[in-house]
Amino acid sequence: MREGATVTGLIKNITDYGAFVDLGGMDGLLHITDMSWGRVKHPSELLNVGDEIQVMVLKYDQEKERVSLGLKQLQQDPWQAVKEKYTPGTKVKGKVVSLADYGAFVELNDGIEGLIHVSEMSWTNELNIRLNV
């Protein structure tokens, strides 16, 4: 077991905060934040108990016998190609994934979100938006 290695394991249990992966005698935790570059509301959106998956060993503490695992780390970080894909002034389509008093967060691709500030939503000061997200 070494950090940076790719290993295969079976999903043993799913919780609200992640999934426990049986690595053949040792369990590792795949935290929800290390599952996808995009938003994940619950690990069961991506995984099922009994699934065989490949993961990267992010951290291995031999003394405590703890293994932290990552799934998204096996894929390219989507922000590495953002400059080539999204140039200023280009119109793009996205999905509103979250609203706040100061604006809306729009997902352009898995793991790529942008903020439309409330000051950029209207040419007038009278802005009443009601969206169901």
Give the tens place of pLDDT for each residue, 13-35. Answer: 999 999 999 999 899 999 999 99
Residue in the structure block whose two tokens are 């069961």: 44
pLDDT tens sequence across 30-89:
999 999 998 899 999 999 999 999 999 999 998 888 999 999 999 999 888 888 888 888
**Strand pairing partners for 105?**
98, 115
Phi-psi region of 19 (alpha: psi -120 to 50; beta: other; left: phi over 0): beta
- The string of pLDDT tens digits covering residues 78-101 is 888 888 888 888 888 999 998 998
The terminus-to-terminus CA distance of the chain in angstroms comes to: 42
Alpha carbon distance 87, 15 (integer Å): 39
* Beta bridge pairs of residue 77: none
Please name the amino acid found at residue 7: V
For residue range 99-118, what is the model confidence (pLDDT) as tens digits? Answer: 998 999 999 988 899 999 98
pTM: 0.77
Which sign, positive or negative, has the C-alpha torsion 79, 84, 89, 92? negative
